[in-house]
Amino acid sequence: MKICMLTTTHRPYDGRIFEKEAKSLAKEHDVTIIAPSDEGGESIAGGIRIVTVKRPNSAALHPITFSRLLRACLAEDADVIHCHEPDALLIGIFAKYFKHRQVVYDIHEL
């Protein structure tokens, strides 16, 4: 199964997402993390594909990051979109309706 873990605010190597969840899932599944970063790009770490989109310097420009993450998510050929924040869930809902993907919402904070 191909799993795309999507975060709109955490770094790609966030301890909860990368260390705990992605590494566990990667033991049996193909895992990709899509996350914002200071630089866009693609790499592989610990058997996990990391796709980063460039985040603007200002938090006021978060809609730009959101649109970049949406494009990256819709480009993925994943079976499941694993979302980590409410706005990531919105992207997951788009993927569900436009690409017929299953969506999991994993909330970390209140």
Q: What is the pLDDT along the chain (110 residues), one digit of tens a residue?
A: 999 999 998 999 999 999 999 999 999 999 999 999 998 999 999 999 999 999 988 888 889 999 999 999 999 999 999 999 999 999 999 999 999 999 999 876 65
CB 48 within 8 A of CB 16: no
Domain-wise residue ranges, the chain:
10-105
The count of C-alpha atoms lying within 13 angstroms of the C-alpha of 2, restricted to the half-sphere facing its C-beta, is: 8
- Output the pTM of the full model: 0.93
By three-state DSSP, how is residue 84 classified? coil
CB 54 within 8 A of CB 40: yes
